[in-house]
Structure 1
Amino acid sequence: MSIGVPADSMSFLEARLSTRDWLATDGHVWLHLAKTLLAAFLAMGIAMRFELPQPRVAMTTTFVLMQPFSGMVLAKSVYRFAGTALGMLAALVLGAVFVQQTELYALALTIWVAACTALAVRYRQFRWYGFVLAGYTAALIGIPAVTDPNSLLIATLTRGAEVMLGIVCSSIVSALVFPRHASATLISSLDARQTRFAAFAADVLRARLSRIARERRFADFVDEIVGFEATRSFAAYESPAMRVGNGQLAQLNSAFMDACARLHALDQSMKRLRANDNTRCAHDALKPFLEEVARIFEHASLNVHLDRYKATLPKRLRDAQRNLPNSDHGTRLDFTTSAELLHRFIVDTIRYVSIAHGDASNERASTRYEAKTNRFVVAATFMRTGIVIAAAAWFWIATAWPSGGYAVIGATLACGLSSASARPSTFIAQMGAGAALAIFTGYMFLCHVYPAIDGFALLCAMLAAPLAAGAFLAMRPASAGYGIGFCVFFCLLAAPDNRIVYDPALLLNNGLAVLVAMLGAAIACAVVVPPRTSWLVGRTLAELRAQAALACEGKLAGLGERFHSGTHDLMFQLRGLLARRSREHRHALSWMLVTLEVGQAMIDLRHAARVLPVQRTPDALRIAWNTSLARVLRDIAVLFRTPDSTTLRRAIGSVVASILIAESMLDLAHGDREARHDMQRVLACLHFIRTALVDPDAPFVPPHGNVSSWRSD
């Protein structure tokens, strides 16, 4: 007997599910657009009520500030406030020092804007926008007032008031009107990341994935690590609870980087054991352990089962080593190295899962993500921006074009807003297309819409459609340039003021100046050391390799966090510069993985070497050990800075010599179990480094021995 469900109940249930699905997907888009328009019109209305001279500036601020999450808007507002204040101060100082000296003022403004844009590239995330605003605000205030110094102070104060009004309106609307909190998204993404990592680890331990598939999954984890760090930084602005737990989230991201690096090192070690017939027995002895750990990763209570497994693992590994058939010294060392990597992977995974469940470790409370940007990239940004701004300023002064100041402002906006893009010329071209559409739309509004309407409500109704379309385009990464260009320049060129000037010729002149600046900026960014230049990409890749040198030379306190965060951040930049699945991208990814592999082993080696009881060792052997260890640290650092066949051979020789000395010290420690264990850990680190250096898949030496191509990196 079946129980029927009424048709109207089924329809109601389906409608509820459809509505919930729409709210979780497209509904967020429409909500964001509605909140953006509400903030823009609120800022415009208040600016008009207070009779500020240019309400359009307040509108522009809201379109640049609004983000889907409240924390993003608040974080952006803080840095925009600081950047605006700094830009106001710069405008006053430059205007006072170079009063009625247009050429010197243009030169000083060029240096200021170029420096701010370069610092924006150096300090990314929302700090980026603070530096961009510091440069842009100085130009926006100073350029119109350069011919009238007496109005500089009033222009600075009113422009600052308009910008601050936009900041306040954006923050209020984002925080009070159907707020979306990044913290909820952050928690759900953490659960999803842990699930994906557990499934990936099980596949890696069972050797189910090809080399390319493994590399791509590790590369995806790079994006997740950097994206998590960005989300964590602005989620701290949403609530006191998130600020209190911010340190624990930083520990969690650091622990995840450690676990990923350990998994890769273990995978590489097992791959090398499988590839060599002489080490096949060591691989076969470890394979049951890997299968057991893989089954644990498929279990729901990962941390509990791993804790229990770890308690019995060392004794079982020692028993397995004693039972190795025909085990010579090399086979035992291979087994010990892989077994040590397995144990470290389990320990780091337990730490990661424990922190995810709320157990933060006090010793890691000061964990800090360290972003890296190569100094050559910063210098290239400074030079490129300086050339663009100087050319626009020279054009303005040489032609005495009344609208030439808008060319300088447009060039400043183009360079600043595109500085975070890996393809600035494309982004600026999109902004130029959006600006052209904004000029056409502004002309239609100025000639036909504004004269035909009356009242603030009708004005908002007429502006809603084009501004919503621009904001929608700005939300999509592929069309962000079009949307930003349209919204920003429509507001700056054609948005209504308290006293609208019906002068289409002025609008077209100002718009033409903006388009000329956009064209010049796009050409300059495509010609003057663009970010995707092979030489510049090579410098970023060299900076990534230098992270292994940091592991050899840096201070041990907090070295692991600095090493992992810097390596992942540099690889994230390279993934933006290089085409996915290209040969260059895979080459960079290979360098990142071997840098993580060897760099982490060097950090482990330095920690293990510090606790060795070398005072009981004969003087000659102790001196030989200290000398060989120093040589290993030096030669590994040199290898990663200048990789070629010569430095590779030297590094391998140093590691082999250290292994021989360490084995002699191990023989002398036969009566001290703790000392033997410490010495075995050192030997495992050295042996793993040696196998990484001699791996035929490692990128240390280019194909066909073309050493010169590596030096060009």
Structure 2
Amino acid sequence: MKRQRAIGPTSDSTGKWCALLQGLSPGVLDWASTDGLVWLHLLKTVTAGLLALGIAMLLDLPQPRIAMTTVFVLMQPFSGMVLAKSFYRVVGTAVGAMAALALGALFVQQAELHMVGMIAWISACIAAAVRYRHFRWYGFVLAGYTAALIGIPNVTTPDGLFLAALTRAAEVTVGIVCSSAVSALIVPQRSSLALLRTLQLRYRNFAAFAADVLSHQVDRRAFERRFAALVDEIVGFEATRIFAAFEDPAMRLRSHRLGRLNNEFMDACARLHALHQLLKRSHASDASATMATIAPHLRELAALLTLRRDASVDVSHVSARLREFQTALPRRVRQIRKQLHEPSAELLADFDTAAELLYRFVDECAKYSDTYDTLAHRKPGPQKRGANHYVSITNGYAVAFTFIRSATVMSIAACFWIATGWPSGGLAVIGAALACALTSTSPDPTNMAVQMALGAALATLVGYAFTCYVYPNIDGFPLLCVMLAPVLALGAHLATRKRTAGLGVGFSVFFCLLAGPDNVVAFEPDVVINNGIALAASMLLAAIVLATVFPADMPWLIERIMDDLRAQVVLACKDQRPELNQRFQSSTHDLASQLRLLLSRRSRRRRHALRWMLVTLEVGHAVIDLRNEASRARYLQALDPRWPAAVESVLDHLAQLFERPDARTLDRAFVSVRSAIWIAQDLLEAVHTDPGKRHDAQRILSCLHFIRTALLDKDAPFKPR
């Protein structure tokens, strides 16, 4: 339990709970850490919803069910998530209310123009939500959705628009306050503790993965799959870190160190990938016998990284052993190099590059272990080594695509409403807006929309039963809570399951909207049915449009995102060097995660995108190393005037290759790299008598040789297939 409290401080009550749990049986502890957390989340969600309903009724607000709906849209398992979303929900609600007032003032009793303005505003908010993801997504979504909730029902009654904006803001605020209070005060599930558990699991998984790679126990498909999972963990870690900063001041103080930890993890993954790629290519060539001489060191390092699953990890001990291995590695490599029997220049380059990559990988692993150890045991960390910026990128075409898709769905619903005068048509437009918003970042938006439609249909049936048979036969708020609790818990439970998340969200939200009780309950079952049909139809409309007209994995859109992914190598070749590695690593992983989200099904396109991600990481990382080493060894320019032009030629042609990948640009880049290698070999001979300069030239030569092997890789996706 000490290690779980290391990241952030916990209250005395949490310590008492931990002491109590330690005395329970293993079966109870296992239930408490798995299904028990789900039941706790359900209990807190239902409690917050009923509390919001009761307070809104006590304040005599017109629609208390909106406060209850807010809770089910907002509630999350971790208090940091709720606080983060609550903050941006308040901002989004305020902005949406002002937008509704502005549109109502501009288009008084002009339904057509009002809907055009409203659709443009909501679509722009959803597009901005896709551009600014994670916790900010919710603020933009609420800015559009709140404007629809306020403005659409009052489009023909502008005199009630201002009052509707005030009451809607009050109802939403009640839901925000209740969900935040219940989440933070009743057995709070800290994001900081979840973050620590994530760090522990990630450290173990990475160590096991690295040990398997070094032991040659991972084939190509398994490597790609497990490495892609590490990419998802990098992106998810950044979101969890921000959530934790909202709930814990100590986490805000450690935010810089956590950011550095994520950067070091990305560097360690990149080094492992580069080493694996070089070993894979060497084993498939004539260099296998030469590379076999370094295999004992790989097995020794794999043994160092093999952690016992049934024991706690002494990270400081692992880090110390890695440093000892790293210190002894150069001497061992020199001894092996002397024992090689007349190797060719290319075989010797393979050996030197592998040794350099192994040394750099051990160094990155040791840095990662050191930083993790200081966080896990609350040790004073090293001095700051520059800023840690995680850069997220979203393709402009994807943002525009989201805008057009959302506007199309809502325009169809609005045109049908205006043309037919359907009394529930306004709610259908609101439902279409909600469907577009909630599916904007879903890996399978069509399935999500269909599940929400089924949830709306189920909510209509249950709401009809409550309106006709439950509400008329109960009296008093306590009995109302007893009757509502099982239904609300069912929706929350479905929402926690991955396969039924859309069904649970649709049922919970739409049951509250359709049949949630108000201060004065109206016996209008026909209105409930009509509104339910409108919501279900709008969800199905969204699903049809998403599946047929605007599927999320359209080939041209995937290709645009892959262009942005390849452009990260251009960034590595052309951008300024300060913090270049951090920007390159984070933006590349972010774009790769987006591609994995869109290409969720296993297919040839998904494997092709993954291979572009892998080659982008290895070449971009090698280019950054090359630029750093060349900048550090500026004295080489005086030894051979051809050297600066050779480096620039390599950078230019690699940038052209990733901008326009084809056989011609590949050949041009290969020729440039090979020419630079010849010059670097001459420089190595010129500085052979100086150990320091020889080492600098050797590292430059290793970077160039690794880039050359990457261009020659038969699995690389440079040539069209």
- For the superposition of Structure 1 and Structure 2, which TM-score range results when normalised by the shorter chain? over 0.9
Distance 1:565 1:615, change over 3 A: closer
Matched residue, 1:405: 426
Correspondence 1:238-637 to 2 at 5 A: 238-277=247-286, 279-298=287-306, 301-358=317-374, 360-614=381-635, 617=638, 621-622=640-641, 624-637=642-655
User: How far is the alpha carbon of 1:143 from its aligned partner?
Assistant: 0.8
Letter of the structure 2 residue corresponding to residue 663 of structure 1 = Q
Letter of the structure 1 residue corresponding to residue 201 of structure 2 = A
- Select the residue among 691, 698, 702 that pairs with 1:673: 691
User: How far is the alpha carbon of 1:437 from its aligned partner?
Assistant: 1.0
User: How far is the alpha carbon of 1:206 from its aligned partner?
Assistant: 1.8
How far apart, CA to CA, are the structure 2 residues paired with 1:537 and 1:127? 24
CA contact (8 A) 2:636 2:683 kept: no
User: How far is the alpha carbon of 1:35 from its aligned partner?
Assistant: 0.7
Letter of the structure 1 residue corresponding to residue 681 of structure 2 = E
1:51 aligns with 2:60: yes
How far apart, CA to CA, are the structure 2 residues paired with 1:693 and 1:49? 70
1:205 aligns with 2:214: yes
User: How far is the alpha carbon of 1:361 from its aligned partner?
Assistant: 4.7
How far apart, CA to CA, are the structure 2 residues paired with 1:465 and 1:135? 31
CA contact (8 A) 1:551 1:602 kept: yes
User: How far is the alpha carbon of 1:574 from its aligned partner?
Assistant: 2.1
Provide Cα deviations, 1:31-63, integer angstroms capped at 9, x if missing partner.
111111110111010100110111011001000
SS state of the match for residue 247, structure 2? coil
Provide Cα deviations, 1:367-399, integer angstroms capped at 9, x if missing partner.
122222222211111100011112222222222
CA contact (8 A) 2:464 2:528 kept: yes
How far apart, CA to CA, are the structure 2 residues paired with 1:339 and 1:492? 64
Letter of the structure 2 residue corresponding to residue 201 of structure 1 = A
User: How far is the alpha carbon of 1:14 from its aligned partner?
Assistant: 11
How far apart, CA to CA, are the structure 2 residues paired with 1:111 and 1:339? 58
How far apart, CA to CA, are the structure 1 residues paired with 2:193 and 2:24? 25
User: How far is the alpha carbon of 1:541 from its aligned partner?
Assistant: 2.4
Matched residue, 2:720: 702
How far apart, CA to CA, are the structure 2 residues paired with 1:436 and 1:383? 27
CA contact (8 A) 2:608 2:717 kept: yes
TM-score normalised to structure 1 length: 0.93
User: How far is the alpha carbon of 1:671 from its aligned partner?
Assistant: 4.3
How far apart, CA to CA, are the structure 1 residues paired with 2:687 and 2:495? 67
CA contact (8 A) 2:637 2:643 kept: no
Matched residue, 2:121: 112
User: How far is the alpha carbon of 1:488 from its aligned partner?
Assistant: 0.9
SS state of the match for residue 60, structure 2? coil
Correspondence 1:164-179 to 2 at 5 A: 164-179=173-188
How far apart, CA to CA, are the structure 2 residues paired with 1:363 and 1:316? 33
How far apart, CA to CA, are the structure 2 residues paired with 1:401 and 1:668? 85
Provide Cα deviations, 1:601-643, integer angstroms capped at 9, x if missing partner.
001011111112337625xx32x32222122112111212221
TM-score normalised to structure 2 length: 0.92
Matched residue, 2:31: 22
1:90 aligns with 2:111: no
User: How far is the alpha carbon of 1:109 from its aligned partner?
Assistant: 0.8
How far apart, CA to CA, are the structure 2 residues paired with 1:16 and 1:311? 46
1:234 aligns with 2:243: yes
Correspondence 1:214-225 to 2 at 5 A: 214-225=223-234
Provide Cα deviations, 1:266-325, integer angstroms capped at 9, x if missing partner.
111122222222x23430222222122222223652100111122222233223223221
SS state of the match for residue 577, structure 2? coil
SS state of the match for residue 516, structure 1? helix
Provide Cα deviations, 1:437-476, integer angstroms capped at 9, x if missing partner.
1111111111111111100011111111111111111111
CA contact (8 A) 2:53 2:68 kept: yes
Which 4+ stretches in 1 moved above 6 angstroms? 12-15
CA contact (8 A) 1:41 1:460 kept: yes
Bigger shift: residues 115-124 or 634-643: 634-643
Letter of the structure 1 residue corresponding to residue 306 of structure 2 = E
User: How far is the alpha carbon of 1:579 from its aligned partner?
Assistant: 4.2
CA contact (8 A) 2:467 2:515 kept: yes
Letter of the structure 2 residue corresponding to residue 515 of structure 1 = A
Provide Cα deviations, 1:393-451, integer angstroms capped at 9, x if missing partner.
22222222222111111111111111111221221111111101111111111111111
User: How far is the alpha carbon of 1:652 from its aligned partner?
Assistant: 0.4
Aligned residues: 688
SS state of the match for residue 53, structure 1? coil
Structure 2 portions without partners, runs of 5+:
1-20, 308-313, 375-379
Matched residue, 2:682: 664
How far apart, CA to CA, are the structure 2 residues paired with 1:92 and 1:447? 36
SS state of the match for residue 714, structure 2? coil
Letter of the structure 2 residue corresponding to residue 649 of structure 1 = D
How far apart, CA to CA, are the structure 2 residues paired with 1:86 and 1:240? 28
- Select the residue among 167, 188, 201 that pairs with 1:158: 167
Distance 1:660 1:15, change over 3 A: closer
How far apart, CA to CA, are the structure 1 residues paired with 2:635 and 2:592? 39
SS state of the match for residue 52, structure 1? coil
Letter of the structure 1 residue corresponding to residue 149 of structure 2 = L
SS state of the match for residue 383, structure 1? helix
How far apart, CA to CA, are the structure 2 residues paired with 1:253 and 1:295? 24
Matched residue, 1:6: none
Matched residue, 1:649: 667
User: How far is the alpha carbon of 1:522 from its aligned partner?
Assistant: 1.4
Distance 1:460 1:649, change over 3 A: same
CA contact (8 A) 2:636 2:643 kept: no
Letter of the structure 2 residue corresponding to residue 207 of structure 1 = H
Letter of the structure 2 residue corresponding to residue 410 of structure 1 = G
SS state of the match for residue 357, structure 1? helix
CA RMSD in angstroms, aligned pairs only: 1.9
CA contact (8 A) 1:266 1:342 kept: yes
Matched residue, 2:709: 691
User: How far is the alpha carbon of 1:228 from its aligned partner?
Assistant: 1.6
Bigger shift: residues 171-180 or 676-685: 676-685
CA contact (8 A) 1:613 1:675 kept: no
Bigger shift: residues 58-67 or 287-296: 287-296
SS state of the match for residue 373, structure 1? coil
How far apart, CA to CA, are the structure 1 residues paired with 2:636 and 2:680? 14
Bigger shift: residues 293-302 or 97-106: 293-302
Letter of the structure 1 residue corresponding to residue 562 of structure 2 = L
Letter of the structure 2 residue corresponding to residue 673 of structure 1 = P
SS state of the match for residue 153, structure 2? helix
How far apart, CA to CA, are the structure 2 residues paired with 1:194 and 1:631? 40
CA contact (8 A) 2:637 2:644 kept: no
How far apart, CA to CA, are the structure 1 residues paired with 2:674 and 2:57? 77
CA contact (8 A) 1:435 1:486 kept: yes
Letter of the structure 2 residue corresponding to residue 131 of structure 1 = F
- Select the residue among 145, 150, 158 that pairs with 1:149: 158
Distance 1:520 1:581, change over 3 A: closer
SS state of the match for residue 340, structure 2? coil
How far apart, CA to CA, are the structure 2 residues paired with 1:233 and 1:364? 20
